[in-house]
Structure 1
Amino acid sequence: MAISSSSIIDFAIPNTKRDVPNIQDQARNRLEWTWGLGHGHLDENLREFVDPQGLLADQTVLVFPHNDTIEQISRRADRGKSGVRRPHIQKLYKGCNSFEYLVLPIDSASTLPPRLLNLEVPPHLALCATSGKMSQAWGSLPREVCDAQRASLLERAKAAICSDRPAVGMWQLTDMQCIHRKWFWIDYVPRSFLSEKSDQTMVEPEEEEPRVMKRN
């Protein structure tokens, strides 16, 4: 199934911003900027990938990248400098085109079994969709109810793992929430990126990935 840019954009928009005029265009611009794409190239980029089971657009399931990959994406987001375009996010994966995901139903009462799947879907798309789904489902709930939903999710994630893959934990949920916020809310998109001279906007030089202690 083709990955729809409209669904990715919808998942990127915070609940509190949905009534803002032209918010869809703003979200598109911010994703193109922070993912290191050319202006107006989001649809072209998404056409390179296929989600055969339609998991990204399915509001009933969450698709979690591996913990190490979430941390890689988090470090990339943290290193970003205001007004400087990021290198293309695909470079983060160093040529890998298949990734392992933990797929869980968002509803704790669901009879859908948890699954570990290998998909040719880039982790930043899965992270955007999954963070957006959690925000849309739980963002307007009272704090204690939202915390209970997150705790239930972590318990189910832990019970689902029967391999050497670490379970999704609170660190990962927090990192995903912060990344999602930076992609849409915090990063500054300069006017030059939105003009005919967008290709001349300076791009950050690539840095070697620092060695860090893994968080399980």
Structure 2
Amino acid sequence: MQRKVITTKDGSSTIFWEELNETYHSIHGAWQESEHVFIKEGLAWYANQFPAQHSIAIFEVGLGTGLNAILTLKFCLQNPDIQVFYHSIEPYPLTWVEISHLNYKELLSQDLHQYFDYIHQCEWEKTHQILPSFSFHKSQKNLQSFSVSPNSTFDIVYFDAFAPAKQPEMWEVSSLSTAVALLKEHGILVTYCAKGSFKRDLKSLGMQVQSPHGAAGKREMTRGVKVAV
């Protein structure tokens, strides 16, 4: 498995996986992409839509560098009245050497450094109460092996898999149906991908599809809302 840390155009790091010829984030800006797609158009959008809801459960497809997780924790510090339960899956975790070469600590305030380390160093398959308003659970498994039960329902899915051209099995209807099944009614799925076939598949699964402006370098992204049956 050949992976190396590279710098994207906004100055933040990402991982380049040589075997897939793919990066973990947009080369136009890893930080900008995560902040825009998953925080602004995902978590913050959902919180604004449902201001009376003070508990939000998030399921992340692809922990990767931990950027989405630490930015979500940062959101919790800024919005302490919102309780977030964060469950992330990652079948191919980064090594500590790879993590140590990411430059996110240079971009985060000092008080967040310990939390970024803890996200990567804490035990798998166990829930950790990192903040009073942020609990974190990570599983070393893929989406296809994740079992859906009435108790494993979420308000938001961060769908951060590799691009359809590089990891097509993640974007097949069978995988998407698992992600959608994890959502509560009115829950949302957000992703950087704006491919037409992907949007049509979401619609076929009963999702209302929206196309907010994309992050740097992209015209659109996708937000799917699970409508009432």
- Give me the TM-score of the superposition, normalised by structure 2: 0.28
Per chain length, whose mean CA-contact separation is higher, i.e. which structure has more relative contact order (CA < 8 Å, sep 6+)? 1
Greater fraction of residues in helix: 1
